Structure 1
Amino acid sequence: MTAAMVEQIRQRLVQALAPLDIEVVDEGYKHVGHANEGKGHYHVRVVSLAFAGQLSIKRHRMIYAALDGLMDDGVHALSIEARAPGE
Structure 2
Amino acid sequence: MTSPVQQEMEQLLQDAFTPTRLEVINDSAKHHGHSGDDGSGASHFTVVIEAPAFADKSRLERQRMVNRALGDIPGERVHALAIQASAPTP
Asked if TM exceeds 0.5, the reply is yes
1:70 is aligned to: 73
Checking the alignment, whether the CA contact within 8 Å between 2:26 and 2:44 is kept in structure 1 is: yes
Match for residue 8 of structure 1? 8
Deviation at 1:37, TM superposition (A): 2.2
Show structure 1 runs of 4+ deviating over 6 A: none
**1:34 and 2:37 aligned:** no
Unaligned runs of 5+ in 1: none
Structure 2 unaligned regions, length at least 5: none
Match of 1:45 in 2: 48
Report the AA paired with residue 78 of structure 1.
Answer: L
Distance in 2 separating the partners of 1:58 and 1:79: 14
Q: 2:37, 2:79 within 8 Å by CA — same for their partners in 1?
A: no
- CA root-mean-square deviation: 1.6
Superposed CA offset, 1:25-44 (max 9, x none): 11001111111226410000
CA distance, structure 2, for counterparts of residue 17 and residue 58 of structure 1: 14
Percent identical among aligned pairs is 34
Q: Which one is further off, 42-51 or 70-79? A: 70-79
TM-score (norm 1): 0.90
